[in-house]
Structure 1
Amino acid sequence: MNLSRLITLSAVNMRVLLKWGGLLAPMSACIGTLCAIFLWLLDQVTNDRIAHPGLLWLLPLAGVGVGLTYHHLGRCAEGGNNLIIDQIHEPGGGVPLRMAPLVLVATVISHLFGASVGREGTAVQIGGSIASGFGRLFRLDHDAVRIVLVSGVAAGFGAVFGTPIAGAIFALEVLSIGQINYRPLLPAAFSSILADWVCHAWGIHHTSYHVASGIIPDWGGSVFHTHPALLIKVGLAAICFGLTSLLFAEGIHRLTPLVRRACPVPWLRPAIGGVATILLVYLVGSRDYLGLGVVSMGHDAPSIVNFFHAGDYTWSWLYKLLFTVVVLATGYKGGEVTPLFFIGAGLGNTLSGILGVPADLLASVGFVAVFAGAANTPLACTFMGVELFGATDIVYIATGCFVAYLCSGHSGIYLSQRVGVTKHTHPLIVANMPLRQARSLMGVPEKSHP
């Protein structure tokens, strides 16, 4: 290649980089700022809910209010994360800009009154909505829209959890089970890192988790990064994590059509979830399963942070699963991921006593592994584990995520995912088939749509 041709090629590449940088930088800054506002609001309403326990009694009414708002203004925005995934696969009508304010306000209201929902769904929808708006503003073609939407998802995910690398990988991996298209990797990574930086620059700080090293001497006295007996125990626990992922996803998918048949009026369904949540609080005798559950009101009460220490939390993971499935199946907004962190860390804490594994290690593995199985994103969750807990125990973290992913089957919380590579051979499941259809072929009734 002669010098003039090399200079020309470099100039073309530089123009492309400047073009994408000029588009993605303001988009990511906008997403990071909205995520910062969202996280700040969550802290405020969580404190208000704890200070005013009587707000729980208004949860059914608040749910109906949100339901009415979506009924009149939401339209296709009701599709949430699945709409964004569909638009990445087959760009068409786009993701409406109103999705961002709608889901932000709806999630804040859900948390204020005590619904057991997360925050990932809101961040991803904020990212996808803003990205789609930028795509329309700059009149991008379908290929460019796909890249922008993936970058928006990465920015939202990375900023809301403070895990920018996991955010980038998640945005690529969540689209197709077992298959990743790396073309949007650089834009996704750029957007996720920048959005996380902007969110942090606004003064938002994420919860820190301390995990003691899982490195222990082997039978010869040498120190190695993996202990065979400990790895086997983690693998056994990971099977439980995967089955719990399956239980969570199928619980939502099977309960949702039952609720819709019982209550044909969409905006009334959240009232059912609100009443059920109040009943669960009094049946369980605790309010610790409301909201995010990252920290608790009591020193030894169930929470994600407390699960990293020894304690009696035997059924906490199951209670949180019930609280979350009920509200998500009845239409509350927020997301599934932070409750999945709670479920995984709580189950890990419980299994640690049975298997003789340090509580902090198995809580950290369960934290990401249950999410990996439910979202079918084992690589993103492995990176998330490294970003949150450090790289020392990466072998255990990866083992937990990979095994849980395999054990969760052809199910998941995002039914618009496509099957890139099947987890196991099935004569009717083929490449590029939506997960929604794959579930029906596995003998599981398809989830009905609103």
Structure 2
Amino acid sequence: MTSLRNTFNYLRARLDRVQPFSLVALACAVGLITGCGAIVFAELINLVQRLAIGSTDLPLYVLPTLPWYRILLVPMIGGLLVAPLVFLASRESRGHGVPEVIEAILFKGGKIRPQVAAIKALASALTIGTGGSVGREGPIVQIGAALGSSLGQLLRVSPSRLPTLAGCGVAGGIAAVFNAPIAGAFFALEVIMGNFAMPAFGPVVLSAVLATVVSRAYFSDHPAFVVPGYTLVSVWELPLYLLLGILCGLGALVFMTVLDTLEKWIAAVPLPKLLKPATGGLVLGLIVLFVPNVYGIGYATMDLILRGGIAWPWLLLLLPVKMVATSLTLASGGSGGLFLPMLYVGSVIGGLFGMGVGAVLPDLAGPSGAYALVGMSAFLAAAVHCPITAFLLLFEITADYHIILPLMLSCSVSTMVAKLVRDESIYTLQLLRRGIDIRRREDNIMQAFTVGQVMRQDAPTLQDSTAFAEVMQHFLVSAVPVCFIIDPQRHLLGEISIHDVKELLQQEDTLGALVIAKDIAQPVRATVTPDDPLVRCLEQFTLLDQDYLPVVSSSTSVLVGIISRREILDLYLREILRHEYVGLNLRSEYTHGTLHEQVRLPHEYVVEIVQVPPSYVGKTLREAQLRTHFNVTVMAVRQGGKSSPDEFPEPDHPLRGQDYLVVVGRPADVRRFAGERGEYRRAHVPDSPTAADH
């Protein structure tokens, strides 16, 4: 263990010395690891399928050889095995996993528990291998993100880099599964990370490329689907693809509604949670007995549709059945992805549309497989709101330039139709049901952070038997205007505010020997637990008109800390402001234009935004001498918070309590300066991103 720890310490030290290149090296490592993870995951699915139906061949061709009771029972047994994994071992592993990754990257600093990768892989392999009507692309997103995040946490990289490393894992996972590095990179940037910022672009692309190299070395260089030759019969065919885009947009809305409705219905069913996946598996088995095409991932069925090998009545049946089968698998507690089912349903819609157009306009329309191919892309774009990723994925799979115009047209139209009716995608809808709206990220800070992340453990306390004179003495030296009364086991009994003491000051001589803390303590009006979101604290602060709340253990009334309104507002403002300073940029005006240049800070320096400490209010920067006392440099002054413009730090400008200083310094020096804020502020300032990180 000592040798292993020394190795990690050595690697961290080396990475710190080559900061500009370390993120590139880590991204490459994540790509290689995720590529290997995709291989292990695929083989795990094959192993489970072999045990379940006796073969690793495409299930559509194996099921007719099996007895009916085996088809019925296999999904149910899979549900029984999955239940303890998703409800007890790792709740994040339930469902398709993409919303959990988006939440982790956007609101939790990219931190994902390492065990999520292993449990998600096992749970999804059990679900898919036993017939769950889901895909493996969603799970690999969560597996890859967990692997990337875990590597970053293991090497203790800067917190600003964890989201990028998690995004690298996402890109590598999608790239490895689809043999499509471009689509993998753009899926991570467009859907998961929500931006195409250049600092993340390079590492994400590198990770996708290396994951694809690993995947191709093992699986060989074959596309995910067997794609027929494509031809655009006439330019007059383009309006037909526009109409297909509209239909796919509407179909995606129906699919989202079916999934959302089934999740609500099954959640309301009065069954133990551990039995719901098995029950859902049993119902799925009944469906598969009559419609075997919805068993498992469905590659064979999609290949048949692309070749025009399924008649339209059967396609018409598959459309609602596949939606229900996938929704049932996930809503009952199964683990698997939505990516492939969305492509599946899109191919069905496109195939039906192509057959209909071919019957009405035989001289104008191309083969139905071409419409099925475009339908796959358009449906994915509409459901996920990712037209760029959807277009690039199918273009990369087909490697056919002639398909660009129909793909771009259908993807754009389907996305616009879906967004016109519903703002949420199939992924963000899940987050919205949890109270997280990624379009209002600033408002979600209060929902994403918990009390335990902000509270102070050194809550002011007095024993219930403390004499009145000692209570008086406590408030004379304490800066906190409230004190909590506890028994010897730290159970919370009540609270005393400074106002309660003031009312008894005139009777101090009389009461000093007679009254103890328990006698004057008031009942505690509200408490919070470390697991509560900060929004609950704000609700209590507003309702009770007070500035402090005691924090008690989730299971007992034992006092574990204190949280103040000021600390929460500090966190809120800092989280909003810090995202605007990802580096230092020079902007110089010249006769012929403006020059923008980024300054790369030394790797041991950070940029942080700190509210002016009370002891410096009224002083000028010259009088404060922060460089001398704390070895930090003030780069700008932001007066009044986020909405105010930054100002140059004039030496003789007096500082105000609501001002914020943009300071540069070593992390320890910045923490020391931030500690001057007063005794209510936590003595911790997370490392800010440096210019080199971005």
- Tell me whether the two structures share a fold, i.e. TM-score over 0.5: yes
**Match among 3, 7, 22 for residue 19 of structure 1:** 22
Deviation at 1:264, TM superposition (A): 5.5
Which region of structure 1 is more displaced relative to structure 2, 266-275 or 309-318? Answer: 309-318
Which region of structure 1 is more displaced relative to structure 2, 74-83 or 395-404? Answer: 74-83
Give identity over the alignment, percent: 26
Deviation at 1:15, TM superposition (A): 4.2
Pairing of 1:189-228 with structure 2 (within 5 A):
189-203=205-219, 205-216=222-233, 227=235
For normalisation by structure 1, the TM-score amounts to 0.81
Q: Deviations over 1:398-430 (max 9, x none)?
A: 1111111112232322127999xxxxxxxx996
Counting matched residue pairs gives 395
Confirm or deny: 8 A CA contact 2:305 2:347 kept in the other structure: yes
Deviation at 1:370, TM superposition (A): 1.0
Matches of 2:33 and 2:439, distance apart in 1: 39
Q: Deviations over 1:171-222 (max 9, x none)?
A: 0111377x644431111111011111111112355434333333335xxxxx
**Match among 236, 247, 264 for residue 254 of structure 2:** 247
| Residues 1:288 and 2:293 aligned together | yes
- From the superposition, tell whether residues 93 and 387 of structure 1 become closer, same or farther in structure 2 (CA, over 3 Å): closer
Specify the code of the residue in structure 1 equivalent to 2:330.
L
Matches of 2:375 and 2:77, distance apart in 1: 35
**Match among 408, 412, 421 for residue 425 of structure 2:** 412
For normalisation by structure 2, the TM-score amounts to 0.53
Pairing of 1:170-189 with structure 2 (within 5 A):
170-175=187-192, 180-189=196-205
Is there any run of 5+ residues in structure 2 with no aligned partner, and where? 1-16, 54-58, 359-364, 445-694
Query: Which residue number in structure 1 is paired with residue 340 of structure 2?
Result: 338
| Alignment RMSD | 2.7
Larger radius of gyration: 2
Is the strand fraction higher in 1 or 2?
2
Deviation at 1:375, TM superposition (A): 1.3
Specify the code of the residue in structure 1 equivalent to 2:405.
V
Q: Deviations over 1:323-375 (max 9, x none)?
A: 11111111111101111111111111111021233212111101111111111
Query: Which residue number in structure 2 is paired with residue 348 of structure 1?
Result: 350
Deviation at 1:86, TM superposition (A): 1.1
- From the superposition, tell whether residues 42 and 68 of structure 1 become closer, same or farther in structure 2 (CA, over 3 Å): closer
**Match among 374, 379, 387 for residue 370 of structure 1:** 379
Is there any run of 5+ residues in structure 1 with no aligned partner, and where? 1-13, 218-226, 296-302, 420-427, 436-450
Deviation at 1:94, TM superposition (A): 1.8
| Residues 1:116 and 2:142 aligned together | no
- From the superposition, tell whether residues 386 and 417 of structure 1 become closer, same or farther in structure 2 (CA, over 3 Å): farther
| Residues 1:41 and 2:44 aligned together | yes
Matches of 2:443 and 2:245, distance apart in 1: 26
**Match among 132, 152, 168 for residue 135 of structure 1:** 152
| Residues 1:32 and 2:35 aligned together | yes
Specify the code of the residue in structure 1 equivalent to 2:326.
T
Pairing of 1:265-284 with structure 2 (within 5 A):
265-282=272-289
Query: Which residue number in structure 1 is paired with residue 118 of structure 2?
Result: 101
Specify the code of the residue in structure 1 equivalent to 2:410.
G
Deviation at 1:72, TM superposition (A): 2.2
Specify the code of the residue in structure 1 equivalent to 2:219.
G
Is the helix fraction higher in 1 or 2?
1
Matches of 2:200 and 2:233, distance apart in 1: 40
SS in 1 for 2:292: coil
Matches of 2:271 and 2:198, distance apart in 1: 42
Deviation at 1:317, TM superposition (A): 2.6
Query: Which residue number in structure 2 is paired with residue 304 of structure 1?
Result: 302
- From the superposition, tell whether residues 123 and 287 of structure 1 become closer, same or farther in structure 2 (CA, over 3 Å): same
- From the superposition, tell whether residues 394 and 93 of structure 1 become closer, same or farther in structure 2 (CA, over 3 Å): closer
Deviation at 1:77, TM superposition (A): 4.6
Matches of 2:182 and 2:374, distance apart in 1: 18
Confirm or deny: 8 A CA contact 1:175 1:417 kept in the other structure: no
